[in-house]
Amino acid sequence: MKIVLLGPPGAGKGTQAKRLVSAYNILHLSTGDMMRAAAAAETPLGHEIKKTMADGKLVPDPLIMAAVLERISQADAKHGFVLDGFPRTMSQAVMFDDLLELESAELDHAIQLRVDEEILLDRIMIRAREMQEASGDVRLDDNHEALKVRLRTYNEQTAPLIEYYQSRAILRSINGLLPADSVTAELLTLIGCSR
Ligand code: ADP
């Protein structure tokens, strides 16, 4: 099972991806988590990635592609994966499809979590507060300024992927404003019912 979750920051991709992992025994591949780990390294590359992320900008495609390819070639991806935060640009999407094709593979589903932009800021500010309370560790990009850039980047560079996957007939769409359990139930139904 190879799934892409699409949606703006705060849409709930990470939460839903984790639930799909336990339902299907597939790998949760969050490029955001991978880049946060890379940014923690005290190296020039780590510092560069950290700054890019803190500004809400995108990490360059070659770095992302290399990280993704390395990860999905490992044994725990053998039943498939759910991609969270990748692909995020049209070129990442096309490169990834080409790479899958080389292995005679393809994505099974691209699932869009639809949300209103006005609620995203609230969700992200709540997440920042919860993380602060739980561990004192807040994401550097969970603030108004970086979020504005993240949303603009999403609209300009990632939203076009919705049409791309529609044209490939694998796009499904779910109302991401529903309670998380209802979103999961819809997600499982969509995946189970189609293809
Ligand atoms: P969110 O979806 O909440 O904005 P993520 O955790 O998915 O957050 O990503 C955080 C940051 O990591 C992004 O703003 C970007 O800097 C970097 N990043 C993650 N995935 C990608 C990607 N596929 N391409 C480029 N940059 C990425």
Mean pLDDT throughout 73-87?
Answer: 95
pLDDT at 28: 97
Q: 28 CA distance to ligand 1 centroid (A)? A: 15
pLDDT value at 85 more than 60: yes
108-120 burial, b if ≥16 CB within 10 A, otherwise e?
A: ebbbbbebeeeeb
More confident residue, 154 or 193: 154
Mean pLDDT throughout 188-194?
Answer: 81
Residues 6+ positions from 90 with CB-CB distance below 8 Å: 157, 160, 161, 164
Mean pLDDT throughout 137-160?
Answer: 91
- 56 Cβ inside 6 Å of ligand 1: yes
Reported as a single tens digit per residue, the pLDDT across 20-78 is 998 899 999 999 999 999 999 999 999 999 999 999 999 999 999 999 999 999 999 99
Residue nearest to ligand 1 atom 12, measured at CA: 32
pLDDT at 193: 58
pLDDT at 195: 45
Query: What is the dotted CATH code of the domain comprising 2-193?
Result: 3.40.50.300
Mean pLDDT score of the chain, rounded to an integer? 93
Q: 178 CA distance to ligand 1 centroid (A)? A: 24
- Strand pairing category for 27-30 and 81-84: parallel
pLDDT value at 108 more than 50: yes
Percent of the chain with pLDDT over 90: 80
Reported as a single tens digit per residue, the pLDDT across 109-144 is 999 999 998 888 888 888 888 888 888 888 888 888
- What is the C-alpha to C-alpha distance for residues 13 and 89, in angstroms, rounded to an integer? 17
Binding site, annotated residues for ATP:
10-15, 129, 178
Q: Identify the bridge partners of residue 114 per DSSP, sorted by sequence position.
A: 175
- 153 Cβ inside 6 Å of ligand 1: no
Question: Which among 13, 30, 31 is the best mutation to test ligand 1's pocket, defined by most ligand atoms within 8 Å of the CB?
Answer: 31
Per-domain boundaries in the chain: 2-193
- 32 Cβ inside 6 Å of ligand 1: yes
pLDDT value at 87 more than 70: yes
- 15 Cβ inside 6 Å of ligand 1: no
